[in-house]
Amino acid sequence: MARFLTFGKEMRKWCLLMFWVLMAAANGWPQASQRLEIEGAIGNLELDKATALTFKEPSDKLRYYYQTRILFIHYLINEDEQLLAAFWDQSKRALGVIQKLPDSDPERDLIAAELFFLRGAIKAMDKKNVAAALELKNSCTLIYRNSQRFPQNREQLKLLGIFNVAMSAIPKKLKWLGSVLCFPGNLNLGIRQLETAAKESKLLPQ
């Protein structure tokens, strides 16, 4: 994670890869045809089509989530300041909607964690290291809490895996920083979590 925060624009490629890892975030939720269409359009980078489809999504939490994710990809591809501003506005609105969900909703912390992760990735790319660390800490805290409360939710394995791998890569002299930002990393566990997520959420081709 510390190394992640030291990169600048070159991190866009890394974040695109992380986006593909996170792409199937909704696959563990009930799959209405509308959501499958949105996922398909995003996967094909048909972003205008995906955006149009989100307005037909009846669930507020998923509509705001998808729209934030789409703006994240738009910005990575185009590096346009207006898109960046739109992403910040949309992610803030999305978090507001998500945080109003009842604490008993098993998707609340999962969606919020992914939104904080995207926000942290953008700030890290812009070398806003302290701000990025705070966003990623929020993401890590939420996904860990969700894993304790809803251990059967397989979709959370994506972020858990990313954080386990990232934390395990921190040099020994900076391990204290990793403990402040997140839980202690475990490389082998993180790899297994990502492999399981890829297989069970159909996140990567078999």
Task: Quote the pLDDT of residue 129.
Answer: 84
Query: Contact, 110 vs 156, CB < 8 A?
Result: yes
Name 205's Cβ contacts closer than 8 Å, sequence gap at least 6: none
Q: What is the pLDDT of residue 21?
A: 45
Q: What is the DSSP string of 137-191?
A: HHHHHHHHHHHHH-TT-GGGHHHHHHHHHHHHTS-GGGHHHHHHHSSPP-HHHHH
Instruction: Give pLDDT tens digits along the chain (206 positions).
Output: 444 444 455 555 555 555 554 554 444 454 566 778 888 888 888 999 999 999 998 889 999 999 999 999 999 888 899 999 999 999 999 999 999 999 899 889 999 999 999 999 899 888 888 898 899 999 999 999 999 999 888 888 888 988 888 888 777 776 666 677 787 788 899 888 888 887 776 433 32
Which pTM does this prediction carry?
0.82
Angle, alpha carbons 121-72-54 (nearest 5°)? 140
Confidence at residue 5, expressed as pLDDT on a 0 to 100 scale: 44
Contacts of residue 33, defined as CB under 8 A and 6 or more positions apart, other chains included, come to none
